[in-house]
Amino acid sequence: MSSNLDPAVAARLKRSPDGLVPAIAQQYDTGEVLMLGWMDDEALHRTLTTGRCTYWSRSRQEYWVKGDTSGHVQHVKSVALDCDADTLLVKVDQVGAACHTGARTCFDADVLPVSQ
């Protein structure tokens, strides 16, 4: 699939075999980790140019803009590539719930016990 992503950025990305990069959404002002989504080059391009998070749905095989159906929008504040160039950190201003279950974050319902 072709993309309008800046070729210099595209050249740096290390993608999974299916062409995707994990994208962690984090609340920009509190540091709260909200969710994990997947982006291909075009989803990243759309995210960078529209200011709204666009993800690739692996189950539906289509793009989705966070909040288009739920109203729970992610306004992009910054996007960073990790040191291995295989994960994105998207700092957002989350409006409403980030999780499809209606929870603020996808990471607070099932905290696993840690031995000390």
Q: Which residues are part of a known binding site for Mg(2+)? A: 82, 84, 86
Q: How far is it, in rounded angstroms, from Cα 20 to Cα 14? A: 9
Sequence ranges of the binding site: 82-84, 86, 99, 106
Q: How far is it, in rounded angstroms, from Cα 34 to Cα 31? A: 9
Tell me the HSE value of 90 on the side-chain side, using a 13 A CA sphere: 30
Sequence ranges of the binding site for Zn(2+): 83, 99, 106
Block residue for tokens 């529209």: 50
